[in-house]
Amino acid sequence: MKIPVYTLKGESKRSLDSGRMFSELVRPDLILRAVAVEQAADRQPYGTDPLAGKRTSAHYHGRRKVRHTMMNREMARMARIHGSGFLHMTARFVPQATKGRKAHPPKTEKVWKKGMNKKERMKALSSAIAATANKELALSRGHRAEGIKHLPLVIEKEMEGVKKAKNLIEFLKAFGLEREMERVKERKVRSGKGTKRGRKYKGKRGLVIIVSEYGGIEKAAGSLPGIDVVKASELKVGHLAPGGRPGRLAIWSEAALEQIEKELKG
């Protein structure tokens, strides 16, 4: 498969032979599973304090026919506070009591990670890479890629040295991505309690730029919403298929493309 390599001004410079890299069969089932595995690996174990709700002097004693017995008193048999004024005989400790422990709290020993065979994971990555060359998938994800002549979009290595946001915007406009940049500017207010926890707005995923090494373009893209810059050595399925949906609009550095092709062959 011959792929044109473009300059920063949008002119075709030469063609590149990608071999079978973009001719892989797109497997949405494998991609979805690989993304779920990656998301599970990023989860941080969490749990409650093991002594939460248990720091109390409340207790229960149920011997019959003795002084201070708690039996035959027409009250539920649960741990209660003794001799503390208005809290006398108030239930504590048990899950159904006020300020009691949780019945089944989250525990830090829970294992969140999921397993996936190495060959399956590599197959999913190859499939996600191939999906970036499918214009129909990109349009189905909502990308405004009508102005792009050819996918995958491969740019010469000089792209990695773009250090200013205004230069990056000019570079993207040269490939007809003005509507895509306007699309990712839109955001909406999240529903639910997340609005009170530092994630009030939900944005849109724009294009991803894959480079061989960070040369400044990651800083230029930092101020533009929706755009991600990823090194080829750190590329994951989730970068190319956010949420498990393949077909994210991607811009490849020529050097990054050669690097990934070597890794997939090896």
Cα R_g (the chain), whole angstroms: 29
Domain boundaries along the sequence of the chain: 2-33+116-265, 44-111
pLDDT at 19 over 70: no
pLDDT at 179 over 80: yes
Instruction: Give Cβ neighbours of residue 264 (< 8 Å, ≥ 6 apart).
Output: 21, 122, 125, 126
Instruction: Give Cβ neighbours of residue 257 (< 8 Å, ≥ 6 apart).
Output: 16, 18, 21, 154, 210, 232
Average pLDDT across the chain, whole number: 92
Tens-place pLDDT, residues 114-135:
999 999 999 999 999 999 999 9
Model confidence at 266, pLDDT cuts 50, 70, 90, reads low
pTM of the model: 0.84
Comparing CA positions, the residue from 95, 57, 89, 86 lying closest to residue 73 is: 89
The percent of residues in the chain predicted with pLDDT above 90, rounded, is 75
Q: Please tell me the distance from the alpha carbon of residue 248 to that of residue 240, in angstroms, as a whole number.
A: 5
Tens-place pLDDT, residues 43-89:
999 999 999 999 999 999 888 888 888 888 888 999 999 988 899 99
The percent of residues in the chain predicted with pLDDT above 70, rounded, is 99
127 contacts 22 by C-beta, under 8 angstroms:
no
Domain boundaries 2-33+116-265, CATH class: alpha beta
